[in-house]
Amino acid sequence: KNEVEQSPQNLTAQEGEFITINCSYSVGISALHWLQQHPGGGIVSLFMLSSGKKKHGRLIATINIQEKHSSLHITASHPRDSAVYICAALSNTGNQFYFGTGTSLTVIP
């Protein structure tokens, strides 16, 4: 069993829809990253969370430490949001990353 599970694996949405990507983890963590990887391959760190909620533009990330669960929300989705979104949990020791397998998002105009 993977330490980090993401869902859904693939997601297709119409432009303008509200999108949620989920990440559950089974290990103790000190922080959780949400990464975005575009078709060209480059990776961008969107958020680093250790508690609560963060917002950046149309992106919102939340984490519930007790439930070991994080969500990434995209409001008013746009075709340029099409990418793979990867959840990465950082262990309590701060030395080990556990990666989800990614959610491939396609937003259709």
Q: What is the DSSP letter of 94?
A: S
79 phi/psi in degrees, rounded to 5: -55, -30
Q: Do the Cβ atoms of 21 and 105 come closer than 8 Å?
A: yes
Question: For other proteins, which residue of 19, 24, 33, 77 counts as binding (CB under 8 A)?
Answer: 33
Decide if residue 96 touches other proteins (CB under 8 A): yes
**SS3 of 76, please?**
coil
Decide if residue 92 touches other proteins (CB under 8 A): no
Query: Which residues in the 49-68 window bind other proteins by CB under 8 A?
Result: 50
Per CB under 8 A, residues contacting other proteins are 30-31, 33, 35, 41-45, 48, 50, 86, 88, 90, 94-97, 99-102
